[in-house]
Chains A and B, each alone.
Chain A
Amino acid sequence: MLSVADLKKSFNHTTAVEGITFTVRRGEIFGLLGPNGAGKTTTIRMVLDILRPDGGRIHFDGLPFSPATRDRVGYLPEERGLYRKGKVLETVLYFAELRGMSRSLARVEAQRWLAKFGLLEASGRRLEELSKGNQQKVQFIVAVIHDPDLIILDEPFSGLDPVNQIIFKDAVQEMKRREKAIIFCTHMMDHAERLSDSLCLLDRGKIVLEGTVRGVKKAYGRNSLHIEYEGDGRFLDLLPGVQRIIRYENAAELELTPGARPGDLIARINEGVEIRKVELLEPSLHSIFMRLVGNGEPVIVPVHGGLR
């Protein structure tokens, strides 16, 4: 569906994107990952023809960009915002028209989507009167109403409550079943891991890792100890035989140094905290991400809940 070859872009002598190549197929969720400033948004903007690349090619089904391909793309930008004073239905209709839909078809589709998200009653209200979650739903509708073949979602789950996250995930999965190509752009690795089929990890404008999620994880082998525990886990940061640790509130992922024995490690951990669950698994994407772009320091992630 989308093929990007050797894409380059720099701003005022700083290189934002340095020769990126990737392909997104239909029926696939493609994770475009990387820390802030890695070049994700710049890449997306070039795919969307908001920015003109300095070099490289972007093709849709083998065709270069044109006004016609423009209408086949849907976009949910990272920074949300629609016209605050605009009415819900009119806003959706406006953006649908901008994507080349006829007004009558747009009306039918808008009503279907609004009903799907439980927003039919809010059609006549101003956007600013809606809750943040509902505003995000409207924004999502704006991105997909014209039934695009390629959907680009930039941090779609940021700021969403768990209920809305599930609604969005279901909507994305449905798109996937309908053979749409989806680019899912995030720095939240756990989201990417659960949703993406394949991925590409950017750092400082370059691809540092790519492949299917399964393949990538396999390549790193089963050398990660995923534990859930109760107690003060701070001592885990200093354990020998661990080359990297990602610690959550009551869980941790420990990447073993080659040759370290998991059994010994578990015994020592058990001395400090009460282990509730332990698994030896492939590293999480988060851990791989940290290994590739982090600086080797222990990472403490203050989120609630466990790893999975």
Chain B
Amino acid sequence: MIMMITGLLLILAGVSIMLYRKEILRMIIGFTVVDTGIHLVIVAIGYVKGGTAPIIDKAVSAAPPAMAGVKALTRVVDPIPSALVLTAIVIGLAVTGLMLAYAVRLSKYGNSTDISDYEEQKW
């Protein structure tokens, strides 16, 4: 529950950073904050009460492999949100890198990273 609320608050904080600030670097920071918040929300959805990491070794279930999963059912958290977050972290890293590269290119082009200095590109 705490993780879910923290994640939602981080999403709201990130969105407000992106809306209030005009510096591109700060908007990118806002994006990463939203990203982290979404990861927290997904992980919170996958939590099962009293569960541990979904790695089925002797600590979770000592049965032979064919039956190990059945015994572990009540002791592990949902593996699918964990896998989704694993994907999302990597994609978030790549997209943040791409945005930063674009910011570098823009600052070389116009000597500024403030979006209000690029009036001619408004619609």
A binds B: no
List residues of chain B with CB under 8 Å of any chain A CB. none
